[in-house]
Structure 1
Amino acid sequence: MKIVDIQVGRISVPLRTPFKTALRTVKSIEDIVVKVVTDTGHVGYGEAAPTAVITGDTTGAIIGAINESIKPQLIGLSINNFEDVMQRLHGSLLKNSSGKAAVDIALYDLFGQLHNAPLYKLLGGYKKEIITDITISVNEPEEMVKDSLDAVGRGYKTLKIKVGKDPLKDMERMKAIRKAIGYDIQLRIDANQGWKPKEAINILRKMEDAGLEIEFVEQPVLAHDFEGLKLVTDNVSIPVLADESVFSPRDALKILEMRAADLINIKLMKTGGIYNALKICSIAETYGVECMIGCMLESKISVTAAAHLAGAKSIITKIDLDGPALCSIDPVEGGANFEEYKIILPEASGLGFVRVPEEFFNND
């Protein structure tokens, strides 16, 4: 099974409602899709999310990285020699984690097809069904209450609330949401680097004192501020999840050595795909630290890959794979089955896609 071509295209999927965080507002998914073609006729699919405010990767940078640096390194290589292929991919250029992730995902899709097994079974086979939270965008408190009640009505038992824009308003938001939904629903908060360390400590302590019962806080401070992250972790009872601070296995190792966070968030767009995500899982297992698997604003293609990883590894105990649930349409046939909060992995080989529209690859 040799690689004979790598094709790049685009996918555009409107969201149900605008997605708002402390960093950005988005109305539709506008991602890069990849098709890796082999001499046996097998095809693997991947996806990259251009999230410049987090990864630094723009649409043009991703396309350029794939066509100019990654593709020349991989044409002619055999999927049978998978470790060699992975090393060539991840050594093809520095950074550009999203472009690497798209091709990495497509290659793992082919790896599963080569062995005629669902990818999650090849990687560990821990469980076939996983349960995700859903994100509530940052808005005025009354709108966030409405969105939270709607999510609960759709069956979600865990909500991830976006905060980080205004500490006083954040407190108002959280009190209003907790009062509206009661205490049977789990609440997580994500500040998206929106607070300074002492500011984070102050507001999180107030949330503790108010009895809001927050499961954890995600990335309360700037990504590069490992010391600030540790300061927050050391001074609040709410567990701290490192997200934007962790792009690589080396980042994860440093965070855990410093005890700068209680949990690690894995996102394929940050790690460059499944290959390095597996290394982070192993490091977390060594330290006995649980992981969450998350996603950017991505369609079913790359979120299916993340779901396979979650189904494979027991160290991934928290799931934040709501990208497809935020979309108003699903143009891809096959892959994981996203039934609101419930994600069921396919039994077909690889990632399990049946049909990815060819028109995605006719628009560049």
Structure 2
Amino acid sequence: MSLTRMLFCRESFTFNKLLRHTITPNFLRRFVFSETSKNQHSFTVSYLINSCGLSPESAIRVSKKLNLENGDRPNSVVAFLKSYGFSRNEVALVVIRHPRLLLANTQKTLLPKIEYFYSVGVSRTDLPIILSENPTLLTRSLKNCIVPCFEFFRSVFQSNKEVLTAVKRSKRAFMSNFRTTLFPNVMFLQNLGVPTNCLSLFLKDNPDALIVEPVKFKEVVNEVTKMGFQPRKTTFVLAVSARSLERRRFLWDRCFKIYRRWGWSEDKIFSAFRKHPSCMLLSEKKISMTMDFLVNKMGLHSQMVATYPMILLYNLEKRIIPRCSVIQVLLANRLIRKNVSLYSVLVHREEIFLEKFVMAYQEALPQLLDVYNGKIISPSA
């Protein structure tokens, strides 16, 4: 046998031996599964983009939580949502926030909830908005969760509109057992003498702050009471709201440090909190930008802002800057006194401000309305 033939036979033997040891049933299964998974993932991403309106980035992210074998069930879900007025964007929001809803049974899981919400007065226009913001509602038990929770909200509020506002803002109310958190905490506040209108405000604006363990909630209420807040005043529920959640305590600590940097003493900070508790729930950017404008550009003393913390809650671009621009023009033209109170300027309702500081000087300064609307920059801006 020639040397070449001998080498060929040897190589063939080695390759066949390697092949027998490599292509095992387990290897084949893994190979087939891997290829199938890749194909399913590719189909899922493509479906999410083309049929659900997701961006490529969102589709890739959602595909990690959802693997579609075919489009049969998802097609029925998408068609169902669209038949009840969901726009393409609202369908996309539902899928992004709760991807597995694409695998839901439309008749058994989705339809009963839709019919219930219609029965309690939710309009065809509002329903897609509510459910796209909180699609988890479509997965909760109608009998054990949605109906009793909705009825509880209705027992506190005077109108369905207020109920729906609370439902929109509270995803957690329908995720937890409200009978062990929300209900006992509301009852506790009622026993303390908190008026119904204050409870309504609490539930409408910040229902999640009531969904904590009753023991911890009572500790927060006692802490707020020791600070001097009175249960019958609106500031009481605002203060409880500001202190009731861990993430809010984090905000509190951050706000505390920022105010200290602007020269507020600890007593000033607590005084501001007692006047308007929401001043301890603002972002660092919001506080810094507003304080910088009022103190460094308008010459207001930082301690004055602490005296009127409500100012910090106003929108800087839409309220504070336009009004202060008008005041700067009036001061530059010596039409108002230098000691005008910025607090009184900012706190007025818009129609009163316009009447008092713009329309009253229209004859002398016709451009004043343009200054207010941002069409003309004030001289000292």
Instruction: Tell me the TM-score range normalised by the shorter chain.
Output: under 0.3
Greater RCO structure (CA 8 Å; 6+ sep): 1
Whose strand proportion is higher, 1 or 2? 1
TM-score normalized by structure 1? 0.20
| Bigger radius of gyration among the two | 2
| Higher helix proportion | 2
